[in-house]
Structure 1
Amino acid sequence: MRWEKAMLVYNRKAGKEKAGQLGEAVEALAGEVGELTLAQTVEPGDGEKICRERGGDYDLLLLLGGDGTVHECINGAAAAARAPEIAVLPGGTCNDFARTLQLPMQVGRAAEEVLAGRVLDTDVGTINGRIFTNFVGIGLITETSENIDSEQKERMGKLSYFLSTLRTLRQAEPFGFRLTHDEGVVDSEAVMILAANGRSLGTAKLPFAGDGLHDGMLDVLIVREAGLSLAWQVLNGGDLTDYRESGGVIEYIRTSSLRIETDEPKRIDSDGEVYLQTPAEISVLPAKLRFFYGPEAAGLLSDEPADSGSGPGLFGS
């Protein structure tokens, strides 16, 4: 028996294909857990409270839901007296952090990967005292999240993000900002600033080299007013090759911490949840929590130290 006690926190409303997900997870895990506790979230904040107050009582914490569920629960787990090992079971629409962990998108298969035991110390980020796993952003990225029609999201899944991006691009306005990072200061205007720990956004692969979760760094993109077509590419996983020599259309920075100040307060998207605003203090918490990874992450499980240098950068292979 691998785990004496495990807790599965689930959001019954996450994603468009809910039926059977909980049963798939329980069936896959039951034979390997002595005591499996199920905890359902009902109201916003439930997941954080459950994981903060009870997470330390378990050897394994399983999170079944979308990126919002993961974001909420991780903020609780990180504050628990003893953080357990954490497994994400993708039950939402985009499941971007689960994609970064290279997990299967089917709940039952993801639960089976937990049994394979690929677990690693993993970086998370912090912004104004809150934890994020995947990204934080302001400008276009936040407006895209806020423009998503909840009923459309329920019916159309990730296509709703595509439609929201189209609507938002037509309305995007530049904002003034000051960004202080490890090696300097940027004073400029932009339509979007994105700081990424993970490697997926709206199911699209972000254009950064490496896995991002073990380097103690954040990958920061500043997209300027002239770069609306680039912003479209970034948000939808397009080819950025043509922008390598774009002369300021975008700026790419790798940093362990940054501060963002804006001319007027701007709302912040944190893992798809919009509830913070600038100014923002953002940094990495290296190897903060232990997560389970999918089979494609086998190369990360070697004894080689993580590369915390600049690496090949934005357009590395």
Structure 2
Amino acid sequence: MDLSTLLARPDAVVELVVNTGARQGASALERATRLVGDRAVVRAHAVHSGAELVETLDRVAADEPDLLVVGGGDGTVSAAAARVAGTSTVLAVLPLGTANDFARTLEIPADVGAAVASVLDGEVVDVDLGRVDGRAFVNVASIGLSVAVTERLTPGLKRRLGPVAYPVATLGAFRQHRGFAARLEFPDGDHDPVELTDLLQLAVGNGRHYGGGNTVAPNASLDDHLLDVYAIERGRLADHVSIARLLKSGRFVEHERVHHLTTRRVRVVTDESLPVNLDGEIAATTPAEVTVERNVLRVAVPRGSRAARLDAAA
């Protein structure tokens, strides 16, 4: 479906929610309101805190608008996705955060003007949504090093360094990391249980990108109806350097110190309860069950985007 067809309807309801606390949020609000308003009657909402974001998204999503345009980082996008999943509302993303991995997966340009134009002139596709014990995530749920990185990624660090904040925070977290053990259980019986020890990180990916442009796995997709599970063992510094070189391509999953498999449901059990990072927000703890909901989220993508290439081929 073309989004322009939806916007041409005189009764189309369009809501714009911009998280002004996001790295580029404050400067983008006025511009985004004007650009979206040139195409449709839009109601704009500025939010300044997490509590205000939740309240605004709850209120806006309850009315099931035709189009919900959300400006912010991946945490903001996940919060919006959780509320419109399974409804007729189309979600459009303006990448205003630091990593913007969901927008990167959808192939939405980083510039606000280009982003608005590409999605409003684009197409509507159906993509999957991940959940950890019911809590939604669009990119990756992870345990271990990524949690420590998230704790170090303060708003001030993001504002000062932008995307460079990720490697800076990662280096600091790596130096203090303590290994952990995990057991992977597969309730659907598609794999035998897996026991893992002395891990650096364990992650379950729904989308394609995470961590500021890293790739979950070479074939990871938002619409393959699968979760990509990977676990990186702690090892020598040389091992981690060789893995780090492959993060952008996703080929690190082929490394001898990395375990990788795909599934539709996995239960992660650890000896002690550990925090779980969902798209940059510490929002769950282990033990945790991770599932994927197929084609439950309607999103606007630029024409030619490969984000939902599998559904397009089908």
| TM-score (ref. length: structure 2) | 0.87
Question: In the alignment, which residue of structure 2 is the partner of 1:49?
Answer: 55
Tell me, in whole angstroms, the C-alpha distance in 1 between the residues paired with 2:152 and 2:56.
30
Equivalent of 2:222 in 213, 234, 237:
213
Counterpart contact for 2:166–2:212, Cα < 8 Å: no
2:100 pairs, out of 75, 95, 104, with 95
C-alpha deviation, 1:242, in angstroms = 8.0
The answer to whether the 8 Å contact 1:47/1:73 transfers is: no
Structure 1 residues without counterparts, runs of 5 or longer: 306-317
Question: Paired residue for 1:58?
Answer: 65
- What is the match of residue 200 of structure 2? 191
Q: 2:129 and 2:174 mapped to 1: Cα distance? A: 29
Among candidates 278, 282, 297, match of residue 290 of structure 2: 282
Q: Are 2:237 and 1:237 aligned? A: no
Deviations 1:89-137 (CA, angstroms, capped at 9, x unpaired): 0111111111011110111111101222321011010101111101100
Q: Which residue of 1 aligns with 2:90?
A: 85
Distance in 1 of aligned mates of 2:237 and 2:193: 23
Q: 1:67 to 1:205 in 2, by over 3 A?
A: same
- Rounded Cα–Cα distance in structure 2 between residues aligned with 1:92 and 1:144: 16
User: Is structure 2 residue 302 aligned with structure 1 residue 297?
Assistant: no
Task: Work out the CA distance in 2 between the residues paired with 1:142 and 1:58.
Answer: 34
Tell me if the contact between 2:214 and 2:250 (Cα under 8 Å) persists in the aligned partners.
Answer: no
Deviation for aligned residue 1:237: 3.0
Deviation at 1:169, TM superposition (A): 1.2
Residues 230, 66 of structure 1: CA spacing in aligned structure 2 closer, same or farther, 3 A cutoff?
Answer: farther
Partners of 1:50 and 1:175 lie apart in 2 by 38
1:256-307, Cα deviation, whole Å (9 max, x unpaired):
11000100011110000013111111000000110111345158387421xx
Residue 53 of structure 1 aligns to which amino acid in structure 2? R
Whichever residue aligns with residue 28 of structure 2, its letter is: Q
> For the structure 1 residues 227 and 206, does the alpha-carbon distance in structure 2 shift closer, same or farther, using more than 3 Å as the test?
farther
Query: Aligned-pair distance for 1:196?
Result: 0.8
Q: Which stretch shifts more, 265-274 or 51-60?
A: 51-60
Q: Which amino acid aligns with 2:296?
A: K
Which position in structure 1 is the counterpart of 2:43? 37
Q: Deviations over 1:49-97 (max 9, x none)?
A: 3333332331100001111211222222237xx4410000011111111
Q: Specify the SS of the correspondent of 2:45.
A: strand
Give the aligned partner of residue 120 of structure 1: 125
In structure 2, the CA distance between the partners of 1:10 and 1:168, relative to structure 1 (3 Å rule), is: same
Q: Which residue of 2 aligns with 1:252?
A: 260
2-side partners of 1:207 and 1:271: how far apart? 13
Comparing 254-263 with 205-214, which one deviates more in the overlay? 205-214
Any unmatched runs of 5+ in structure 2? 1-6
Q: Give the % identical residues.
A: 29
State the superposition RMSD in angstroms: 2.4
Q: Which amino acid aligns with 1:191?
A: L
What is the alpha-carbon distance in structure 1 between the residues aligned to residue 293 and residue 311 of structure 2?
Answer: 21
Distance in 2 between residues matched to 1:231 and 1:267, nearest whole Å: 23
Structure 2 residue 248 is the aligned partner of structure 1 residue 266: no
CA contact (8 A) 2:223 2:311 kept: no
SS at match of 2:284: strand
Tell me the SS of whatever aligns to 1:195.
strand
Contact 2:209 2:216 in 1 (8 A): no
